[in-house]
Amino acid sequence: MPKQDTRTRILVTSLLLFNDHGEPNTTTNEIADEVDISPGNLHYHFRKKSDLVEALLAEFQADVHRVLNRPADETTIDDFWVFLHLLLEMLAAYRFLLRDMETLVATYPKVGRALRHFAKGLIAVMQVYVNLLARNGALRIGDSDTVLVSRNIVVITLFSERFDEVSGAASSADDSALRIAGSVLALLSPYATDAAAAHLKALRDHYRR
């Protein structure tokens, strides 16, 4: 099999195992076994586990760049809903980064820098969305509440799954994403204008379980 195919298979398998078991609990030998190659072959492509983490981090950063686009001036609740789904899909795909965040940041400084940059960018984009929704008549919200609500949305989005694990309410990645989406929409609901309230409620009801 061509070299690039093997490298891609190693990365895909590493991501799946990191997501399922955590990066600290996954060895390169386990990755090699899952890919059905020798440890030496894996070592040829990635000399250390840190090389695997950094390669996956680069993929994450590329996906962040694609997702965190500035919304269009005519942004609607539906546009925000689509953005939220894309964001949650991306976070689910790289959930090991948040699941093992403290360990990863301590072990791999690049992870810490990337996550800080991502968090700041996400808050900035979220504020733009909330401001545009207010400007376009979907929300009635002041500047101070915009900052607070945007921050709370980001906290819910990034850390709800970890809280569920601590509180004993852990579930599948799909169920967690649905619960997070519903929580975010609920956070916006008190600020909905009369024109947008019914539509926002319909979207929220979609996530009730």
Domains, the chain, with CATH or none: 3-45 (1.10.10.60), 57-206 (1.10.357.10)
206 has pLDDT over 90: no
| pLDDT over threshold 90, residue 168 | no
Of 94-103, 115-124, 137-146, the least confident: 94-103
At 1 the pLDDT is 42
Predicted confidence band at 191 (pLDDT cuts at 50, 70, 90)?
very high
Give the pLDDT band (50/70/90) at residue 19: very high
Query: CA separation (Å) from 138 to 44, 131, 142, 181, 191?
Result: 54, 10, 13, 18, 8
What is the percent of the chain with per-residue pLDDT over 90, rounded to a whole number? 80
Q: CB count, 10 Å around CB of 168? A: 6
Residue 204 pLDDT level (bands cut at 50, 70, 90): confident
Query: Amino acid identity, residue 17?
Result: L
Residue 169 banded pLDDT, cuts 50, 70, 90: low
Please report the pLDDT score of residue 161 as a whole number. Answer: 81
Nearest to 29 by CA among 21, 19, 41, 20: 41
pLDDT at 2 over 60: no
Q: CA–CA separation, 139 vs 133, rounded Å? A: 6
Q: For residues 137 and 195, what is the distance between their CA atoms, to the nearest angstrom?
A: 8
More confident residue, 174 or 134: 134
What pLDDT score was predicted for residue 209? 54
- Mean pLDDT for the chain overall: 91
* Distance of alpha carbon 114 from alpha carbon 97, whole angstroms: 10
Query: What band does 4 get if pLDDT is binned at 50, 70 and 90?
Result: low
pLDDT (tens digit, 9 = 90+) per residue, 61-102?
999 999 999 999 999 999 999 999 999 999 999 999 998 899
Q: How confident is the model at residue 164 (pLDDT cuts 50, 70, 90)?
A: confident
Contact 156, 187 (CB under 8 A): yes
Predicted local confidence at residue 107, as pLDDT = 95
Report pLDDT for 171. Answer: 66
Task: Please report the pLDDT score of residue 165 as a whole number.
Answer: 73
